């Protein structure tokens, strides 16, 4: 996207209520152009109230949120097999789980999103879990990514 489109979106976002729908569409288009493909994630990003925003953007973390920052030591990195195991393990928890790496964020229940991170051995990742079992969920995902044996 060009800087003119980004500048235009800033003007539109400050517009009156009838113009807000257009602003949301435009900002959504910008997010897609920057690599975000998950429509639900784009919707959450655009409509999240300040107290529900992810901790990584400067807002305080929620009380049911756990964030772990780790370095991938699994010899396979976050490629097909370990990503499939992460997805399977994530689905066993009620907590919302996301993994952030290389400036991207992925839903841990989506193998396509995880593979899109391009995370490899040695990369720093952030695991963000929200919900009643957030600590267990984050620890389980971290164990996969820091495992010492290839999966």
Q: Note the pTM of the prediction, 2 decimals.
A: 0.59
- pLDDT tens sequence across 70-81: 999 999 899 999
Q: Are 149 and 111 in contact (CB under 8 A)?
A: no
**Which residues belong to the active site?**
79
Strands ordered across the beta sheet of 65-71: 65-71, 124-130, 96-101, 104-107
- pLDDT tens sequence across 68-121: 999 999 998 999 999 999 999 999 999 999 999 989 999 999 999 999 999 999
């Amino acid at each position: 996207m060009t800087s003119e489109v980004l500048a235009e979106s800033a003007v539109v976002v400050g517009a009156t209520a009838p113009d807000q729908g257009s602003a949301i569409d435009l900002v959504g288009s910008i997010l897609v152009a920057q690599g975000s493909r998950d429509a639900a994630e784009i919707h959450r990003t655009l409509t999240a109230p300040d107290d529900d925003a992810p901790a990584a953007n400067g807002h305080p973390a929620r009380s049911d949120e756990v964030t772990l920052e780790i370095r991938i030591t699994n010899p396979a990195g976050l490629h097909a097999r370990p990503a499939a195991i992460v997805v399977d393990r994530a689905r066993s928890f009620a907590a919302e789980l996301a993994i952030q790496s290389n400036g991207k964020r992925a839903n841990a229940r989506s193998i396509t999103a995880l593979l899109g991170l391009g995370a490899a051995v040695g990369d720093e990742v952030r695991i963000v879990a929200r919900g009643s079992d957030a600590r267990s969920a984050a620890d389980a995902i971290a164990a996969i990514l820091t495992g010492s044996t290839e999966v």
